Homo-oligomer: A and B are copies of this chain.
């Protein structure tokens, strides 16, 4: 097994039910759900590093630059970045220009992991495998598909990624 580093940035995957505001939001404590997904799947070899807890609509190049730097400093050759779906494509193209020389895989979810019926585990499970098997480059892994950074595009109407 090749060790993978998983950077979490927030997005729907990390959100929970907020009964006070009756909506879906980041938990007060700001803890990512990714360690829970890994534990539920008995996946213990890969490191998780929580970077942010932000909605992908709040993602800016300043945040992207931090992601870039942290990927550069990671010892692992394969990296997963969890990210909201709305601007995942923009971040992928930003990271593709960073010249990282690593396998970087973005993934996310349309339904929070905390709601029990979710695409979060499926997508994260795929991204972790992609980070071990794809050649260096930047990719999105969503809905059982692999997309290169340039072709990554959310289908807003269907809530998924397709070509």
Contacts and interface: CB of A to CB of B under 8 A. Distances in A.
Interface string A78-116: 000000000000000000000000000000001110011
Given A42-B119, A45-B144, 18 more contacts: A12-B22, A15-B22, A17-B111, A19-B111, A38-B144, A40-B117, A40-B118, A40-B119, A41-B122, A41-B123, A42-B143, A42-B158, A43-B143, A116-B117, A128-B144, A129-B129, A129-B146, A132-B146
18 contacts: A1-B162, A1-B163, A4-B144, A12-B22, A15-B22, A17-B24, A19-B110, A19-B159, A38-B144, A40-B122, A115-B116, A116-B116, A119-B121, A122-B124, A125-B144, A129-B141, A129-B146, A133-B146
Copies in the assembly, this chain: 4
A20 interface: yes
Nearest to A38: B144
Interface residues of A, number: 51
Contacts of A162: 1, 45
From A4, A19, A41, A123, residue with most partner B Cβ within 10 Å:
A41
A128 to B, nearest CB: 5
A33 B15 CA distance: 23
A123 B41 CA distance: 8
